[in-house]
A and B are shown apart, each in its own frame.
Chain A
Amino acid sequence: MTENILEMRSITKRFPGVIALKDVSLTVGEGEIHAICGENGAGKSTLMKVLSGVEPAGSYEGEIHYRGRPVSFSNINDSEAEGIVIIHQELALVPHLSIAENIFLGNEQARGGVISWHETNARAADLLARVGLKEKPVTPVGQLGVGKQQLVEIAKALSKNVSLLILDEPTAALNDDDSEHLLGLIRDLRDQGVTAIIISHKLGEIAAIADSTTIIRDGSTIETIDMRVPEEEKSTLVPRIIRGMVGRDIDNLYPERNATIGEEILRIEDWHVGHPTQPGRVVVDKASLDVRAGEVVGVAGLMGAGRTELAMSVFGRSYGRDISGRTYVHGKEVELRTVADAIDAGIAYVSEDRKQYGLNLIQDIRTNVTAAALKKIQTGAWLNGNEEIAVAERYRSSLNIKTPTVMATVGKLSGGNQQKVVLSKWLYTEPDLLILDEPTRGVDVGAKFEIYSIINELAEAGKAIIVISSELPEVMGLADRIYTLSAGRITGEVAAQDATQERLMELMTMERE
């Protein structure tokens, strides 16, 4: 462990108008798990692009030494030839091809130009055994869950004789079980001699797995922390990382709230939702819940429990079929048949997947902010473009969206800023009820705190809020009341002061009796 497998020395990378990396150095020891932490936009991804050759040698200043000799990669093939493999947050698998075909995509097991399927599948089976995935090599990747797809990516990396594995937010989309398995696998690989660099926002995870951690802020290295400390010092590590990332102390991750809980805004009873393509499969089963003005209600459930499906089916039946049950808004029974009905009734739904369901990435902030409430900037038959900009400006400053102008393309913003644009869009509809589905997924610590503060302000302003989250501390930190969801059924309702992680987990994993 004395050898350093990788040394990146004084890397500076400039984009037109911006310095993305300023004199960043990164040293990774052979056979360790090295975590990189930093807020979104801090430069983590750029650093990894430099390392893997996506940003070719010559486009940056500084040196990269790998296994003791200087290297310069001009594309990703060069770095892979050295055994450096990067697995991106958005998985790059072809859903219709089999596991084996995906593993050897671009690296086909061929003899004289003809693919040897026997060898492909046999070698794939070996690799699957190594990563602990119990699936047949011929299964199409599209049939696997995200967690298993992640394992296929790692198997693919192993097929390239990886010696340095880079994982960009590997557990962001995984539930606790899958995360646990994945982290275990990374540990096993380390013991087999594979060095890993892991980028993650989940600090608890980093504390559990990393041997050392480098913190990057605003394009510069802040410090590298040795995580192999005695047990009693472990608890100091996470606060130290947070301090490094945001440049200040965040004493309380969840700000205080001072809201008065008022009348009931939404109540659903006997809510039943069928799967949209598989007849007979029930996704939400006789669910009932209610939420009041000024109240934050948490919905906790594991992946596949039906959280998003519940929310989207209530939001103008945008998910599912054979929906039945009763909806009451302000105590009056209503039928919300379309999304437009739901918006008119004062409901807003902020999706968990902002890129796919929340934003028009090729348009600017301005058009995204007004997209759900265009009627409000209409004068006569025409839209008032100047008023529109003024509205967008207002949200840019009040929600602290970090960009010089509202004419900036949304696709270029960081995750936290994108999330604030989605929030702006829904706040502009002036809803009475906001349903927030995983509001802080892929969002860094600093922006998380800001989003929590916004949630509190909204509750204090008398809005009802439902927060759906798979992170239990988040649900417990935010909500006044928590519903637990398991296999489409509401299995419990717990007041915040009575909630413990164990109690919630027990309810979330409750089997059908």
Chain B
Amino acid sequence: MAGTSDIKELLTRNLRTSGIYIAFVFIILLFTILTGGKLLSPGNLTNLVLQYSYILILAIGMVLIIVAGHIDLSVGSVVALTGAVAAVVVIGNGLPWWAGVLAALGTGVLVGLWQGFWVAYVGIPAFIVTLAGMLIFRGMTMQVLGNVSLSPFPKQYQYISGGFLNGLLGGNGYDAFTLFLAAALVVVFAIQQYRGRLAKLKYKQQVEAFPLFWVKIIVVAAVILAFAWQLAHHRGLPVVLILLAGLVMIYGFISQRTIFGRHIYAMGGNLQAAKLSGVKTRRVNMWLFVHMGVLSAIAGIVYSARSNSAQPGAGNMFELDAIAAAFIGGAAVTGGVGKVHGAIIGGLIMAVMSNGMQIMGIDQSTQSVVRGVVLLVAVAFDVWNKKRSQTGA
């Protein structure tokens, strides 16, 4: 079993996952050319992160929901409700910003418990439960807000999505802190990869050929450093980016390297077999929806902080963007397949496309058509890929 694999084998074996990266790079290149380089300008990159962060946060939870064989249509309404609750606490009652954050997170937990209860213990399909939730939580948002917008939030609350870590270590027009953090990240990544490789060799597993291993690390390092360079150039490191990176790492680990995560995949792959393997499916479903509720609340906080207000119509159609991100990122409609980082890439593909088309001045209607086509093509690719691997047995 021990041995090395070359790049061709790596690509063909992982076509399902590597295809999405190739598509991502292609779309970035395409829009960089179409926008005359504006896409990757420091100001726009910062904007891109801020503008789509809440969709990406939702996509993290949505992909896990989809892997378990469910769907969540209510997240847009939950974004609105949690933002509204935060606004009422902070703006309406004058309590400090963190009280608003806690109230929003608490609301997210309650929403998760409510939906989890119906899905896990009553056995209603998530499609129905969350369709009802979409209506219920939208209505509650309007009631909480008394059907008017609340604004503005205090500075500290706005900082959550509008803040930048800048100038902590000084720098001459370039934020040294951002660059330092990026460099540290690269070093940690390289060490972690190397240790992983050693462990794999110890267990006599296949690893990439050594040059390929280095190419991988250098490419990743170059992308991180270039990205950081552009950010440092502009306003520094957005707080939201740190939040997002933290969530991606945490949920990446939860999904791949914990028993809870494994149980989600087991249930999505074969529910009956999971039950007979001792998986407490009700508990897993319940927790899953609580996680989704909390992530929706975080997205709600970020969104309300960014728009500096809570509106009755906030978060409309967010659920569809999050679902699309998960499916473009390789999640299977039938459950059991999908990864957090895939959903993030899927979300970024959508983000780069929307952003690029906005810069180009393409109107909303055409944007909508293009995004729809991309979703369709992505899932069609997935289906084709599955057929290919089945007949090639």
Asked if B269 and A361 make an inter-chain contact with CB atoms under 8 angstroms apart, the answer reads yes
Q: Which residue of B lies closest to A404 (CB)?
A: B1
The residues of B that contact A386 with a CB separation of less than 8 Å are 199-200, 202-203, 205
Expressed in whole angstroms, the Cα–Cα distance for A349 and B199 within the complex equals 34
Closest 4 CB pairs of A and B: A360-B269, A372-B277, A340-B278, A386-B203
Instruction: List residues of A (15-36) whose CB comes within 8 Å of B's CBs.
Output: 15-17
> Is A334 an interface position by the 8 A CB rule?
no
The residues of A that contact B269 with a CB separation of less than 8 Å are 360-363
Q: Answer whether A15 and B393 are a contact pair too, CB < 8 Å, given A363-B265, A383-B259, A405-B1.
A: yes
Q: Answer whether A339 and B278 are a contact pair too, CB < 8 Å, given A371-B262, A386-B200.
A: yes
Asked if A425 and B277 make an inter-chain contact with CB atoms under 8 angstroms apart, the answer reads yes
> Is A351 an interface position by the 8 A CB rule?
yes
B378-393 interface mask toward A, CB cutoff 8 Å, 1 = contact, 0 = none? 0000000000011111
Asked if A318 and B275 make an inter-chain contact with CB atoms under 8 angstroms apart, the answer reads yes
> Is A393 an interface position by the 8 A CB rule?
yes
> Is A221 an interface position by the 8 A CB rule?
no
Interface pick from A3-11, A108-116, A373-381: A373-381
The residues of A that contact B332 with a CB separation of less than 8 Å are 362
Q: Answer whether A381 and B258 are a contact pair too, CB < 8 Å, given A340-B280, A372-B278, A387-B203.
A: yes
Instruction: List residues of A (208-267) whose CB comes within 8 Å of B's CBs.
Output: none
**A389 CB contact (under 8 Å) in B205, B257, B265:** B205
Asked if A367 and B199 make an inter-chain contact with CB atoms under 8 angstroms apart, the answer reads no
Q: Which residue of B lies closest to A425 (CB)?
A: B277
Q: Which residue of A lies closest to B206 (CB)?
A: A405
The residues of B that contact A371 with a CB separation of less than 8 Å are 262, 266, 273-274, 277
The residues of A that contact B276 with a CB separation of less than 8 Å are 315, 318, 339, 349, 351, 357-358
Interface SS majority for chain B = helix
Asked if A383 and B262 make an inter-chain contact with CB atoms under 8 angstroms apart, the answer reads yes
> Is B253 an interface position by the 8 A CB rule?
yes
> Is B147 an interface position by the 8 A CB rule?
no
Instruction: List B residues at the A interface (Cβ < 8 Å).
Output: 1, 199-200, 202-203, 205, 253, 256-259, 262, 265-266, 269-270, 272-280, 332, 336-337, 389-393
Q: How many residues of A contact B (CB 8 A)?
A: 40
Q: Which residue of B lies closest to A350 (CB)?
A: B276
- Residue contacts A-B, CB under 8 angstroms, 21 given: A15-B391, A15-B393, A17-B392, A318-B275, A338-B278, A357-B273, A357-B276, A358-B273, A359-B273, A360-B265, A360-B266, A360-B269, A362-B269, A362-B337, A363-B269, A363-B336, A371-B274, A374-B259, A378-B259, A383-B257, A385-B256
Asked if B392 and A16 make an inter-chain contact with CB atoms under 8 angstroms apart, the answer reads yes
Known contacts A360-B270, A375-B259, A386-B202; 10 additional CB pairs below 8 A are: A358-B273, A362-B269, A362-B337, A363-B265, A367-B265, A367-B266, A372-B277, A383-B262, A386-B199, A393-B1
Name, among B253, B256, B262, the residue most crowded by chain A CB atoms within 10 Å (CB to CB): B262
The residues of A that contact B336 with a CB separation of less than 8 Å are 360, 362-363
Instruction: List residues of A (112-150) whose CB comes within 8 Å of B's CBs.
Output: none
> Is A343 an interface position by the 8 A CB rule?
yes
Q: Which residue of A lies closest to B267 (CB)?
A: A360
Expressed in whole angstroms, the Cα–Cα distance for A412 and B279 within the complex equals 24
The residues of A that contact B256 with a CB separation of less than 8 Å are 383, 385
Nearest CB of chain B from residue A20's CB, rounded to whole Å:
9
**A360 CB contact (under 8 Å) in B258, B274, B390, B393:** B274
The residues of B that contact A367 with a CB separation of less than 8 Å are 262, 265-266
